[in-house]
Chains A and B, each alone.
Chain A
Amino acid sequence: MTDLAADTRKVQKSWKDIDLRAVAPFVALALLLILGAIANPNFISIDNLLNVITRSAFIAIIAVGATFVISAGGLDLSVGSMVAFVASLTIMFMNSGVIADPATMLVVAMVLAIVIGAACGLANGLITTRGSIEPFIATLGTMGIYRGLTTWLSQGGAITLRSPDIHSLYRPAYFGAVLGIPVPIIIIVVTAAVGAFVLHKTRFGRHVLAVGSNEDVARYSGIPVERVRTMTYVIQGLCVAVACLLYVPRLGSTSATTGLMWELQAITAVVVGGTALRGGVGRIWGTICGAFVLEIVGNIMLLSNFVSEYLIGAIQGAIIIVAMLVQRSLVRKS
């Protein structure tokens, strides 16, 4: 009966009630698809689209974690370095040969990657909360640390997966497909679905938004603010680890430049997706949409000839600014 009451409430909502900010990223995505189709008919082919979405997997998955951190009023600049660090350690463990059976080795290595990712995130969280250091500064520091450790581990070169057995066993994790859908796309959807459930349906998610919206109100309401903050960084670390699990089978190799500037792309995806950088509002599916937008822009530039692909970085930079301007103008109207 109460469900019924909730349902009628939803029906009563008029068109005016639709939050334009939540819809905007999807409109942008649709417009881009149309633009792409006009620029090059090949763009809209299923193969190309699946390909583009697959390539957006790393940023999309990392950005799900970033949505949590940013919604809680934090920021994590270290995610790009963390990818390099976690992936390098994972490959080194696989190369160590401590477990002979390739399948067992693979499973243990994957678990290890998850643990390392969570630990890196926990470190970020504790430094910002316990140390009460601004997240910008704290993660700027760990960004340097994770990157530097990777460079040191690789001695400036590359860390390459040596065992062909493990590599061939692991390849399908990135290049495989289930029912014609590439595995990375499935992972994106699963990660986002879990993220959206946690952020929008659970008590923890409500706490995250409350902390991001007004830390004092959250504290006065008995919410363990520091623990919630720290957990968002751990979630970010877990998302980075999942991205690493896809990254390692793709190239089987890392270097000091792995994941360079990914933090900027992840933050751009989050902001384009409609999450407020000041915290308090989080939109997981918007974030996924934002990651697609970034990748599609790059793809359109590659397929068409009117803009040099060397300008991709500049275009992505412009996108974040335009996205903010659009969001702001929508706020004024509603």
Chain B
Amino acid sequence: MKAPAAQLSVTSGGAMLEAVGLSKSFGPVEVLKDVSLAVYPGEVHAIIGENGAGKSTLMKLLAGHLQPTRGELQIDGETVTLTGPVDAERRGIVLVHQEILLAPDLTVAQNVYLGRELPKGIVVDDRAMNEGARQAIRNLGADVDPDVVVRRLSIAQRQLVQIARVLLVPHRVVIFDEPTASLTPIETRALLKVIADIRAKGVGVFYISHRLPEVKQIADKVTVLRDGRVVASHSTNELQPVDMARLMVGRDVAKLYPDRHAEVARETILEVADFSVPGFAQHASFKLGKGEILGFAGLVGAGRTELMEGLVGLRPGRGVIHINGKPMQFPHVDASLKAGIAYLSEDRKGKGLLLTEDLRVNLTLASLDKFRRGLQIDRAKEHVALDSAIGEFDIRASRKDMLAGQLSGGNQQKLLLAKMMMTDPSIIIIDEPTRGIDIGTKEQIYKFIAVLAAQGRSIIVVSSEMQELIGICDRIMVMRSGRIVGAVTGEHMNENEIVVLATGVKSGEAA
């Protein structure tokens, strides 16, 4: 099933892939309404919109994963019906999924070549595949050992493996569904360069992202979706990120980050001294004040997540933790929850929520002690808690008995926040609070974080989005290779300072 790589000619002039009046319904719900757009050779066409605007559905239609209810697809001006993703790939249309779809127990190289292994006689040519995979990932500006099993990679590394895998298919049109959602600025820069390279070869690119500056930087054309319709389609030159945000949300987005009080002297609530998580973080020491929002910046693999998981007892760690001056030990999460620390995982679908359970079960899972009535769980009380959580955190669910997996990413994050707040923590650690979340919801999450801090709770935010850390934090700790290498505060909180610390080189060299 090898596709003829060389024969995929790039015709100039006409649209390579065009959607004409596409509509898609799931049951009675029409998620996409009469959408028309096209990508031309050597063009990057960005598609933006809030969560639930229909972007991913549109991408799946374009890549043959779904069939349209109405409307048609044209390739080089000819109407086609894509019978499935394999058919689409045969025609040179490939999709980089937002979700990681890799076999965790196979190696990087085995995943990159899965389904199209290179033969050597009757066996597979492992050496050639390893070399090919290493090269493909190096092209993306990263270095990942092709022999390591995917399970041991970070989410960002997995995303890169996935992109490498897709780009090995002979392609004419590449569709990226939020490829940078889990990448750090440096990896993002490398990926944008890759996209620029393939555009230069005459490939057409559809690019979905929530990161509007990125869109401004890479895209030639921007189409904005709202509620399943195209509300605007412009050349990128004509739009600034703030215009894009306004078109997406349908109103002015004046300010993404909430106002916060100036730095005040705070009593220390959490003190971590010489804490190590073997293999990931060494000799970390820091203090967290009451009502403070403390950021943790760093490149992917710097050990931020592992340090936090070590602190709350999810990983074996050594060191001294004081809460309100009292020394504490957390052998498991139960203990840290009781001590008033809540940790929200970056992997909201894999570690945060039970996707196949309903909202109520998810909401109370970490705090079932509070819902006891004799031997039983008090369901009526659970329903009351759910009602108030839905109100307080603005969780938008069409039905209260829907499953957590049916919520959009933003609403899942709100539910996860609500769930952990049920434990009434005094310290909240949020890992990647807005990954894969649209602007409107981001704004809400930031507001929630600010409100929690104003209530006197202390918050640690781990994030790969530097702008977000700068926007909401009082102080930012920067980690590099498992060590805390510095802290930035006040006017020093800018991307440049952070990048210098995170990479250990001057920012000019880092690029």
Contact = CB atoms under 8 A, between A and B. Distances in A.
Partners in one complex: yes
Given A202-B375, A222-B333, A222-B334, A217 B351 contact: yes
A2 interface: yes
Contacts of B371: 203
Interface string B351-362: 111111100010
Interface stretch (A110-118, A119-127, A206-214): A206-214
A22 B423 CA distance: 33
B376 A201 contact: yes
Interface in B449-506: none
A156 interface: no
B369 interface: yes
Given A2-B381, A9-B401, A220-B352, 11 more contacts: A2-B380, A3-B380, A197-B375, A201-B375, A202-B375, A203-B377, A213-B356, A217-B350, A217-B354, A220-B333, A222-B337
B343 A206 contact: no
Interface in A1-15: 2-3, 5-6, 9
Interface string B285-302: 000000000000000000
A328 interface: no
Given A2-B383, A202-B376, A222 B366 contact: yes
B333 A206 contact: no
Given A201-B376, A220-B345, A214 B368 contact: no
Contacts of B368: 203, 206-207
A210 B350 contact: no
Contact of B334 (A202, A210, A223): A223
B346 to A, nearest CB: 11
A203 B369 contact: yes
Interface string B389-411: 00000000000110000000000
Contacts of A2: 380-381, 383-384
A130 to B, nearest CB: 14
Given A2-B381, A202-B377, A213 B343 contact: no
Given A206-B365, A206-B368, A213-B356, A220 B351 contact: yes
A213 B357 contact: yes
Given A206-B361, A210-B365, A222-B366, A217 B375 contact: no
A221 interface: yes
7 contacts: A6-B379, A9-B383, A210-B354, A217-B352, A219-B333, A221-B366, A222-B366
A212 B352 CA distance: 15
Contacts of A222: 332-334, 336-337, 366, 423
A280 interface: yes
A206 B354 CA distance: 12
A224 interface: yes
A331 B257 CA distance: 43
B428 to A, nearest CB: 14
Q: Which of B336, B361, B365 gathers the greatest number of chain A CB atoms within 10 Å? A: B365
Contacts of A214: 350-351, 354-355
B314 interface: yes
Contacts of B356: 213, 280
A213 B400 CA distance: 20
B380 A6 contact: yes
Contacts of A6: 379-380, 383
Nearest to A3: B380
A216 interface: yes
Interface string A279-296: 010000000000000000
A206 B345 CA distance: 21
A220 B349 CA distance: 12
Contacts of B333: 219-222
A329 B380 CA distance: 33
B372 interface: yes
B383 A201 contact: no
Contacts of A217: 350-354, 365
Contacts of A207: 368
A223 B364 CA distance: 12
A219 B314 contact: yes
B334 A216 contact: no
B314 A220 contact: yes
Q: Which of A3, A218, A219, A221 gathers the greatest number of chain B CB atoms within 10 Å? A: A221
B350 A206 contact: no
A170 B345 CA distance: 56
Contact of B343 (A202, A203, A220, A223): A220
Contact of A221 (B350, B365, B376, B380): B365
B354 A213 contact: yes
B334 A224 contact: yes
B423 to A, nearest CB: 8
Q: What 8 A-B pairs have minimum CB-CB distances, sorted nearest first?
A: A2-B380, A221-B366, A222-B337, A216-B351, A222-B333, A222-B334, A203-B368, A201-B376
Interface string B129-140: 000000000000
Nearest to B383: A6
A210 B352 CA distance: 12
Contacts of B337: 222
Nearest to B336: A222
A197 B379 CA distance: 14
A224 B331 CA distance: 11
Given A213-B354, A220-B351, A223-B334, A5 B383 contact: yes
B365 A223 contact: yes
A222 B351 CA distance: 12
A274 B53 CA distance: 36
A206 B377 contact: yes
B55 to A, nearest CB: 26
A213 B354 CA distance: 7
A135 B379 CA distance: 33
Contacts of B352: 217, 220
A203 B383 CA distance: 16
A246 B200 CA distance: 78
A207 B371 CA distance: 13
Interface in A281-329: none
A199 to B, nearest CB: 11
A201 B357 contact: no
Contacts of A224: 332, 334
B385 to A, nearest CB: 10
Nearest to A203: B368
A277 to B, nearest CB: 14
A130 B82 CA distance: 51
A102 B500 CA distance: 84
Q: Which of B352, B354, B384, B401 gathers the greatest number of chain A CB atoms within 10 Å? A: B354
B338 to A, nearest CB: 8
